[in-house]
Amino acid sequence: MRLLELTQKTDQKLKADFEKIFDQILKQEQPAFLKILDQKDLTTQCQEVYSRFAKSEQVVVLGVGGSSLGARALNQIFRGPLRFFENVDAYEFSESIRDLDDKTHFIVISKSGSTLETLAQLSFLQESFLARSLNISKNCTVITEEKTSPLYDWALQNNIPTLEIPLELGGRFSVLSAVGLYPALFMKTQIQDLVAGGKLISEYKSECAEFCAQIIMSFGRQEMITVFWAYSDLLKEMGLWVQQLWSESLGKRQTLNGEKASFASTPLPLIGTNDQHSVLQQIIEGQKDKFLVFIRNLQSEQAGRELQNIHFENISYLKGRSLGEVLKAQYVGTQKALANEGVHSVTLEMKDFSEKSVGLYFVFFEMCVAMLGKHHNINTYNQPGVELSKKIAVDLLKSKS
């Protein structure tokens, strides 16, 4: 992955500052999302548990937020068969569980082991199974912190295999832990290559620094929305993963010193070419408060056979062209049109959808978010703004009991 095009030159002092931050994080601080890449027995542990359930007819993941978004992204990229239960939409949930039986493998993921939505869904699933004289615990894996919690204790009591989420590893940074790697095995991926791709981040100091410098420059221009515009359908779920990573990590009220935190943008994931027909008009002619991060995948742009015949005269120029070439032309046209209108952007490139490229992509964004958080002197790894809504919801439910 590398930066391809900029609509404005990078502030070289900013870039140099971020190169120093990169070295500090990589060589000195080693946050948990980097440490997990060196856990030598992690993939072996995942594979050992997988071998017990590899022949399951269906695989369902129960989790929400960081316990689900990374695995969802992997499942889309690698065209996996997994189903995901996240939102507690009663109608959808009750309809979706009708075809689940004792041949279904359930992967229950909660970092804390006490996530309301996940425990609620698990409880209703257990009741549904018991009503049919089935036992959900016989075909289940739990991924959580190895400490006492409702979920971890339930797993121990029912002899359910568990995989660990390290205490210091935040959920939104956990995709290359068991949280993402174990589900990825059911997608027939080479999880060792996902990890190996993540470890390649050490070779991308310049790219990370330049990307972060461009982001800080955009903040200085009060570009309040960072648009992550991926030109591949397979990156839609990845965009939602980036959205959480960015929002929860950078949207902080206070610095580590208790001072008012610096401005950080709101992320907006889009898919090209779809959103050229929904959002592009507003970006071009609306407020100039957006910074564009285009994400290209060369495998998408090079795919497809060439059109052999002219079927519609108004697009006769497509003869001899592939759909991949159409996708590339649409990206180039959008990027240049925005540049002509004074909209700043940067373009990231993915070589392909191999496990190594995907693993690198995840860690690239994790690393850049960590660097931006350090630059802003904030706690990148907590999410205090989320806790109040949880407390209010629990209080409401308790008041009706």
Could you give the domains of the chain? 3-28+197-384 (3.40.50.10490), 32-192 (3.40.50.10490)
At 210, list the tokens: 């330049």
Q: Which residues contact residue 368 at a Cβ distance below 8 angstroms, ignoring those fewer than 6 apart?
A: 208, 211, 212, 215
Cα separations in angstroms, 126 against 97, 129, 131, 212: 11, 5, 9, 46
Find out whether 144 and 109 touch, Cβ atoms under 8 Å.
yes
Alpha-carbon distance of 105 to 246, in angstroms, equals 31
Across the range 105-115, mean pLDDT stands at 97
Beta strands in 67-103 (DSSP E): 83-85
Find out whether 246 and 227 touch, Cβ atoms under 8 Å.
no
State the residue for tokens 């060369």. 298
Across the range 81-97, mean pLDDT stands at 93
**Cross-strand bridge partners of residue 59:** 105
* pLDDT over 70 at 1, yes or no: no
Per-residue pLDDT, 394: 87
Alpha-carbon distance of 179 to 175, in angstroms, equals 6
Per-residue pLDDT, 105: 98
Across the range 14-22, mean pLDDT stands at 98
* pLDDT over 60 at 401, yes or no: no
Supply the mean pLDDT for the chain: 95
State the residue for tokens 């990890």. 195
Q: State pTM to two decimals.
A: 0.95
Alpha-carbon distance of 241 to 64, in angstroms, equals 11
Alpha-carbon distance of 120 to 118, in angstroms, equals 5
Q: In what order do the strands lie in the sheet with 290-297?
A: 3-6, 345-350, 290-297, 225-230, 266-271
Burial class (CB in 10 A: 0-12, 13-18, 19+), 369: buried
Instruction: Give percent above pLDDT 70 in the chain.
Output: 99
Across the range 256-285, mean pLDDT stands at 96
Find out whether 288 and 339 touch, Cβ atoms under 8 Å.
no
* pLDDT over 90 at 176, yes or no: yes
Count of CB atoms situated within 10 Å of the CB of 298: 15
* pLDDT over 70 at 400, yes or no: no
**Cross-strand bridge partners of residue 65:** none
Find out whether 324 and 303 touch, Cβ atoms under 8 Å.
yes
pLDDT band at 266 (very low <50, low <70, confident <90, very high): very high
